[in-house]
Amino acid sequence: MKNRNIIISIITSFIFVLPLSFKSWATPTGQDLGDNWCSDVKMHFYAGGPEAGGFAGIVAAGAMNAIRDTGADAEILYSEWDFEKMVRQLRESVGLGVEAIAMMGHPGNEALMPLAKEAAEKGILMTYQNVDPGEVRAKYGGGYVGANLATQGKALAREAIRQFGFKAGDHAIVMVPIGDYARAQREDGARIIFEEHGMTVTVLDGDPKYASDPNMTIPIFGAALNANPETKVIVHSGSDIMNVAEGIAKAAGYGPNELLQIGFDTSPQIMSAFEKGYVHLTSDQQPFLQGYLPVLSLCQTAVLGTGAINQDTGAGFVDTNNYQAVKALADAGLR
């Protein structure tokens, strides 16, 4: 009863448009979906990163809770943030003929387009999380659950300017995943706002492999800070890298609150860094929802014929004044 009420309350909080066509794997009786109402739907869910902890771990926790609540016949796939691996796995998923796929959009429109086309031709439902492949969705449908990357980075920079009083001429270091602009527009948005404010910005290339081994960034930031000792703030490109904020500061000779570090997402390590004075502001894109809602969306479309869920999850900030309110959830791997 409890799970059913949770599901129905979530369903009624969104406005849907009926798709042109859909498969129906189950025939509900009356208005009660019952337990395991999505058990006939076989799906693959992409968590993005490595299986152990970090951002992908919170995404997976959301997906696992949705799988439990709906009864979906789902498998969670991990890709170590390797975009080529994601594409290979997606090709396998489509080839296996699963009925539904929740896909990370990191590989981008060009890489995903032919596989989305093949999936559509086979009647496989697809939806996306974390990075929005807008061109793919426009052509072949599907929802998106995640932050609006085009605005999230700009909003973070504006909030940092408001909170910390940055002035024209102040220096920032921003790590941007230069090789993939669909993903990089978030951090590049922060750069744009800082430069419009008259600040000077040093851009570091945020190679996706750093998310799997964030300690690799410590000497990179160290060299940039050594070359720019007047730096006021660092903008990190994700929670996995901001997890080592304390190590970055200490290796470069900075103590607590001597260097502002800001970025995206929450984690137990980031909460600890808030406490110790090594992280000062983060834009929380709620990865738990990026796991839960895509599973729910695919189940609803498959069983009820409803339109896909589209949800911006990245509108809130966590800072030194309010981090304690979310600390217990972040420490539990749910925020």
**What pLDDT digit, counting tens, does each position of 10-43 carry?**
443 443 344 444 454 455 567 789 899 999 999 9
> Phi/psi zone of residue 198: left (φ > 0), alpha (ψ -120 to 50 degrees), beta?
left
Q: Which residues contact 12 (CB under 8 A, 6 or more apart)?
A: none
- Evaluate if residue 307 carries a pLDDT over 90: yes
What per-residue confidence (pLDDT) applies to 11?
41
What per-residue confidence (pLDDT) applies to 127?
98
Per-residue pLDDT reduced to its tens digit, 189-211: 999 999 999 999 999 999 888 98
- 296, amino acid identity: L
- Evaluate if residue 54 carries a pLDDT over 50: yes
From CA 230, how far away is CA 248, in angstroms rounded?
Answer: 16
What per-residue confidence (pLDDT) applies to 99?
97
* Assigned superfamily of 149-284: Response regulator (3.40.50.2300)
* Assigned superfamily of 2-147+286-314: Response regulator (3.40.50.2300)
Dmax over CA atoms of the chain, in Å, equals 68
Give the pairing type, strands 73-77 and 42-46.
parallel
Q: Which residues contact 303 (CB under 8 A, 6 or more apart)?
A: 24, 25, 26, 28, 33, 37, 38, 40, 41
- For residues 264 and 242, the answer to whether their CB atoms sit within 8 Å is yes
Q: Half-sphere exposure of 141 toward its Cβ, with a 13 Å CA cutoff? A: 22
CATH 3.40.50.2300 domain residues, the chain: 2-147+286-314, 149-284
Helix (H, G, I), strand (E, B) or coil at 73: strand
From CA 28, how far away is CA 32, in angstroms rounded?
Answer: 7
pTM for the structure as a whole: 0.85
Per-residue pLDDT reduced to its tens digit, 75-122: 999 999 999 999 999 999 999 989 999 999 999 999 999 999 999 999
What's the Cα-to-Cα distance from 46 to each of 35, 126, 186, 211, rounded to whole Å? Answer: 24, 11, 21, 16
From CA 188, how far away is CA 71, in angstroms rounded?
Answer: 40
Length of the chain counted residue by residue? 335
